[in-house]
Structure 1
Amino acid sequence: MNDAPDFKDCFNNIAKKKILIVSTTWNKDLLSPLMDVITKTANDHKVDHEISFCPGSLELAASIIRAKPDQYDGVLAIGLVIRGDTPHFKLVSKQSFQDLASVALEFHSTPLINGVLTVDNKVQAEERINPEKMNKGKEFIESLFQMMSS
């Protein structure tokens, strides 16, 4: 089930804009289909994009700051945190979300979408990433386009 909003109106003035996509190398193979959807959607709408990688979700915020987000029309942070047997999941999830929110507020004139998926297991991750199922990649990039259009 996907209750994602309809973002049809968000494509009006995004052509030739430039976005930064920062993704984690942790779980890179699992995130590959999601990144494919994101880059294809950007290309389809003639949005220039740069892709940067960082080790994991905890490093996303610092990587975005180092890339100077105010030089872009929008920023998309992509990561995947899968619950394990230790408290690490909660710590990484909470801190990465707080850090990304802080960056979004600090660079408030540049829209930032938090595309960090937090899931209980690999099956949930694949369901959210799969373009034929929940297609979170499309949802993330279209959310960014909407923020850039408003």
Structure 2
Amino acid sequence: MSGNGAPELSVRDVGDLRVAVIAAQWHEKVMDGLVEGALRALRDLGIGEPTLLRVPGSWELPVVAKTLAGRGYDAVVALGVVIRGGTPHFEYVCQGVTQGLTRVAVDTGVPVGFGLLTCDTEDQALDRAGLPGSSEDKGHEAVTAALATVAALRSVSEPGR
């Protein structure tokens, strides 16, 4: 199971954050599970009105994440799924989206929750989507990781203060 060894994150005092969730539309059942897990995590953490945007596919996640990071959001959570097919398309999309989201976080300083499933089969994606019977809830995990990163950054004082 890919979730073995995951840290138990404790996140507190983040109810004041402005958070956006961006979700691809491909693979509706998987995406519905990821979005529900992300929204549940936000509710559990006291964030009642996050922004939720749906984009055509995973490829569009980085550009929207960058735009939102530049508009004052404290964290952005990107959710998508790419399932391997018989062409190199899988590698190009996975690599491009991963590098794009990494660049957004590093260039803007806004934590980006990485909820991009890169799976060999649809069954693997469903098992990570947080649906009833799934072994993992990657939407929830992406939110928790992003907000734990915000909390870590808040704990570091700026130089000269």
Q: TM-score, normalised by structure 2?
A: 0.84
Match of 1:102 in 2: 103
Rounded Cα–Cα distance in structure 1 between residues aligned with 2:140 and 2:66: 24
Bigger relative CO (Cα 8 Å, ≥ 6 apart):
1
Secondary structure at 1:115 match in 2: strand
- Tell me what 1:18 maps to: 18
Please provide the CA RMSD for this pair.
1.5
Contact 2:9 2:144 in 1 (8 A): yes
What's the counterpart of residue 86 of structure 1? Answer: 87
Q: Note if contact 1:34-1:129 (Cα within 8 Å) is conserved in structure 2.
A: yes
Shift in Å at residue 70 of structure 1? 4.6
Say whether residues 1:66 and 2:67 are aligned partners: yes
One-letter identity of the residue aligned with 1:67: L
- State the identity as a percent: 27
| Structure 2 Cα separation of the partners of residues 54 and 117 of structure 1 | 16
**In structure 1, distance between residues paired with 2:44 and 2:87:** 41
Letter in 2 for 1:147: T
Q: Paired residue for 2:77?
A: 76
Unaligned runs of 5+ in 1: none
Aligned to 2:50: 49
Q: Which has the larger radius of gyration?
A: 2
Structure-1 residue corresponding to 2:115: 115
1:81 to partner: Cα distance: 0.2
Where do 4+ consecutive residues of structure 1 move more than 4 Å?
A: none
| Pairing of 1:116-131 with structure 2 (within 5 A) | 116-131=116-131
Q: 1:20 touches 1:69 (CA, 8 Å); kept in 2?
A: no
**TM-score, scaled to structure 1:** 0.90
Query: What amino acid is the match of 1:121?
Result: T
SS at match of 2:26: coil
